[in-house]
């Protein structure tokens, strides 16, 4: 989905303010490094500025119109003077950079301006990085490069020194919720996803992941069993939990979901209903919140955080979960 300037400004206001000033002062750098975690809008903003550089009808002197011939062609991915390079397998090869250089030695097809975008720039082989360095050392005033990276520390210092670095911040939960709902995610699900990750791509993946949907049901069931019949909790662990949460990362995700249930209960007690993330379960949770104390909820959340710490320290996951279930039953004193 094509993102407009206003939509992306909500995600990365500092980055777009800097780029807006560059556009208005006509001081666009010859190379930018866009660095930050996946799903923070790096590729979308690189495309946005590319459109602004080619746009026939700029709005306010810096926003692409999205409707002219150039904007439409860039959006559809077939502008002859915009070139993209992505890893071929696990890395970006020297030949890919050489092909790019050869392309740029030719005159622009439709204008003198050219743009190239290198995704996962940190995955360039040593020889590819050295080839790119020669390219960056002899910048053409009409050429603009966008290097995108999640791990800029992997890039050659000499490449970094020739780029203007734009750092993309993780998204706030509110920005995440707005973006998710604008892009078709159920408003009942968006707050939970926004608490689990500030990576838009990961949130979209979780939203359609059957494993994750089932995980939520199992975690809610475990909580309800702990409430109603603590003796059955171990049976639920053996029957449902361990057959679903197998990898360390999956167990950690399960613990995060369990923690969010207890947080919701605490928010209800504190009359902060707007912060609940298990919205579909809110009526049941309101009833449960009446049957416990803030002190007990605090102790139970501490027990879950301690379990996450032990998991990270490679404690046996089965022992860790059995110990956690016992601690959650006791609710106050735990080891």
Domain count, the chain: 2
CA atoms of 32 and 146, how far apart (whole Å)? 5
pLDDT at residue 4 is higher than 90: no
Q: Tens digit of pLDDT for each residue in 171-200?
A: 888 889 998 998 899 999 999 999 999 888
CB 159 within 8 A of CB 136: yes
Q: Has residue 201 been placed in a domain?
A: no
For the chain, helix (H) and strand (E) counts, in that order, are: 17, 5
**Residue 112, pLDDT score:** 77
Say if residue 78 is exposed, middle or buried (CB neighbours under 10 Å; 0-12, 13-18, 19+): exposed
Instruction: Report the CATH number that the domain containing residue 151 is assigned in CATH.
Output: 3.40.50.300
Q: Are 120 and 227 part of one and the same domain?
A: no
- For residue 244, the surrounding DSSP H or E stretch is helix 242-244
Say if residue 129 is exposed, middle or buried (CB neighbours under 10 Å; 0-12, 13-18, 19+): buried
**Residue 312, pLDDT score:** 94
pLDDT at residue 23 is higher than 90: yes
User: What six digits make up the tokens of 296?
Assistant: 């007990």
Range of the domain at 17: 5-170
Domain boundary among 170, 200, 226: 170
- Helix/strand/coil for 109: coil
Q: Tens digit of pLDDT for each residue in 195-236?
A: 999 888 899 999 999 999 999 999 999 999 998 887 888 889
Q: Has residue 188 been placed in a domain?
A: no
Candidates 135, 113, 121; CA nearest to 52 is 113
Q: Are 166 and 213 part of one and the same domain?
A: no
Q: Are 242 and 317 part of one and the same domain?
A: yes
CA atoms of 204 and 279, how far apart (whole Å)? 18
Q: Tens digit of pLDDT for each residue in 125-170?
A: 999 999 999 888 877 778 899 999 999 999 999 999 999 999 999 8
Tell me the pLDDT band of 109, cut-offs 50, 70 and 90.
low
pLDDT at residue 321 is higher than 50: yes
**Residue 201, pLDDT score:** 87
Q: Taking residues 114-134, what's their average pLDDT? A: 94
Q: Which residues contact 221 (CB under 8 A, 6 or more apart)?
A: 236, 240
Q: Are 111 and 248 part of one and the same domain?
A: no
CA atoms of 167 and 14, how far apart (whole Å)? 9
Task: Find the farthest-apart pair of alpha carbons in the chain and give their distance in angstroms, rounded.
Answer: 76
Q: Tens digit of pLDDT for each residue in 59-77?
A: 999 999 999 999 999 999 9
**Residue 1, pLDDT score:** 60
pLDDT at residue 8 is higher than 80: yes
**Residue 108, pLDDT score:** 63
Q: Taking residues 309-333, what's their average pLDDT? A: 86
Candidates 124, 56, 57; CA nearest to 94 is 124
Q: Tens digit of pLDDT for each residue in 247-267?
A: 999 999 999 999 999 999 999
pTM beyond 0.85, yes or no: no
């Amino acid at each position: 989905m094509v993102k407009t300037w206003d939509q992306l400004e909500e995600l990365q206001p500092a980055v777009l303010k800097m780029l807006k000033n560059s556009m208005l002062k006509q001081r666009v750098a010859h190379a930018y490094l866009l660095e930050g975690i996946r799903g923070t809008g790096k590729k979308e903003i690189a495309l946005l500025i590319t459109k602004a550089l080619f746009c026939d009808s700029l709005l306010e002197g810096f926003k692409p119109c999205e409707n002219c011939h150039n904007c439409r062609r860039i959006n559809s991915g077939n502008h002859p003077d915009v070139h993209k390079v992505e890893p071929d397998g696990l890395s970006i090869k020297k030949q890919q950079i050489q092909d790019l250089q050869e392309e740029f030695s030719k005159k622009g097809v439709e204008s003198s301006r050219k743009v190239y975008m290198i995704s996962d720039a940190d995955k360039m082989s040593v020889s590819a990085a050295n080839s790119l360095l020669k390219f960056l050392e002899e910048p053409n005033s009409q050429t603009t490069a966008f290097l995108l990276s999640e791990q800029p520390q992997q890039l050659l210092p000499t490449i970094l020194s020739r780029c203007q670095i734009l750092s993309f911040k993780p998204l706030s939960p509110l920005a995440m919720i707005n973006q998710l709902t604008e892009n078709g995610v159920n408003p009942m699900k968006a707050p939970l996803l926004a608490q689990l990750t500030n990576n838009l791509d990961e949130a979209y993946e979780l939203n359609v992941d059957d494993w994750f949907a089932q995980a939520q049901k199992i975690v809610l069931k475990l909580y309800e069993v702990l409430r109603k019949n603590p003796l059955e909790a171990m049976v639920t662990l053996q029957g449902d939990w361990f057959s679903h949460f197998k990898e360390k990362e999956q167990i950690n995700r399960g613990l995060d979901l369990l923690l969010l249930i207890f947080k919701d209960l605490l928010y209800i007690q504190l009359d902060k209903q707007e912060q609940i993330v298990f919205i579909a379960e809110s009526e049941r949770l309101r009833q449960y919140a009446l049957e416990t104390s803030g002190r007990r909820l605090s102790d139970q959340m501490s027990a879950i955080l301690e379990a996450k710490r032990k998991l990270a320290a490679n404690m046996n996951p089965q022992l860790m979960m059995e110990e956690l279930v016992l601690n959650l039953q006791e609710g106050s004193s735990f080891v």
